[in-house]
Structure 1
């Protein structure tokens, strides 16, 4: 992974517009069924966020690129599923992954609207739940009511850890070029931990909300 990320950071640090495009595509492709299971979109976003403290990239544009890519990716997958219904789940290449499709369906049927929210934080079903929600007939308003807040939480959870990690390294006197070359993994690890913590906390809260009240 480092052999891929290090040259990417070095190249896009000199081409800001390409960095924003890369962020947009990384977020978008993560939502494409099958493709999203193999594209390390989250890792790319976490790594490129390390360019914000040094001024190569602007935080607001990084967040906007990630949010736009995720919303368009999830929305497109949902609409494709909604238009073709369950038929899309039985066509290539989705029919090559019956286990993941079954997992996504079970997750969606068990959690309902919350499945759309949580799926944004849970690979690999993140790439399958939007199309599954559409294929199973979830109403458009319900889908976007869950998806938009999830994306608005998901993007900062992936961008800010990298910004904070590299900023902290700078405060300890680590030169900018060294921190980018050797410590972007700190951003990835910290971001993954934060995303996992957010997902766990939200899932625990949702489970508590549906817990039946026992009679005294």
Structure 2
């Protein structure tokens, strides 16, 4: 099974995945979730992982009693912070090499979109990117390559991780077990991800059009 198939399967059956791990392996479920969010934010090759859906479903699982919500939020937030920090250092180490196309495992189109967004919004990108799939895996890499000051990066990093995790886990905790949402969870999560991508896509299009106009 390739990475895309794995991500699709995890997305489609994330609720069963979390409940199964919690019921059969107890506290190991927290380690698994920590590892997933550390990987998604720390390694660009793991950008396919369905972070937002897992956060929402984890909150719903906590509301159902399968997980302890404060422990869940603490460990996932820590994983997201440490993942971004690792990604920052990878970007700092690679430097300009990440832009020349010689590193095959980096998606150059996603990297360029993230870089353009970063150039426009500066440090706020580290916070905003948390809520945008794919982009959140590239933002700390770009910050490291751009030599963003570490103290400033960590301020945005920790703030973004806390807001991202608490808001989406909280939404899952409050609304995830409502019958209509529970029965239509996959569709709702897809709509949510698409909605999160709209502002980023719009910003990229506007910037592209602006560059074309200035070139004329």
TM-score of Structure 1 vs Structure 2, range by shorter chain: 0.7 to 0.9
Question: Matches of residues 49-68 of structure 1 in structure 2 within 5 Å?
Answer: 49-68=59-78
Counterpart CA distance in 1 for 2:156 and 2:185 is 31
Q: Which residue of 2 aligns with 1:113?
A: 123
Deviation at 1:87, TM superposition (A): 2.0
Does 2:103 match 1:92? Answer: yes
**Which stretch has the larger CA shift, 3-12 or 154-163?**
3-12
Cα pair 1:105 1:132 within 8 Å, conserved? yes
- The number of aligned residues is 188
Q: Which residue of 1 aligns with 2:138?
A: 128
Which secondary structure state, in structure 2, belongs to the residue aligned with residue 57 of structure 1? coil
Deviation at 1:7, TM superposition (A): 3.5
Deviation at 1:127, TM superposition (A): 0.7
Counterpart CA distance in 1 for 2:87 and 2:18 is 29
Q: 1:34 aligns with which of 14, 32, 44?
A: 44
Cα pair 2:91 2:141 within 8 Å, conserved? yes
Cα pair 2:45 2:105 within 8 Å, conserved? no
Q: 1:11 aligns with which of 20, 23, 29?
A: 20
Cα pair 1:82 1:135 within 8 Å, conserved? yes
Counterpart CA distance in 2 for 1:119 and 1:6 is 25
Cα pair 1:19 1:48 within 8 Å, conserved? no
RMSD of Structure 2 on Structure 1 (CA) = 3.0
Does 2:82 match 1:82? Answer: no
Higher CA-based Rg: 1
Counterpart CA distance in 2 for 1:38 and 1:167 is 26
Counterpart CA distance in 2 for 1:124 and 1:29 is 12
TM-score (normalised: structure 2)? 0.74
Deviation at 1:89, TM superposition (A): 4.1
TM-score (normalised: structure 1)? 0.74
Q: Which residue of 1 aligns with 2:83?
A: 73
Deviation at 1:185, TM superposition (A): 4.2
Q: Which residue of 2 aligns with 1:44?
A: 54
Name segments (4+ residues, structure 1) moved above 6 Å.
none
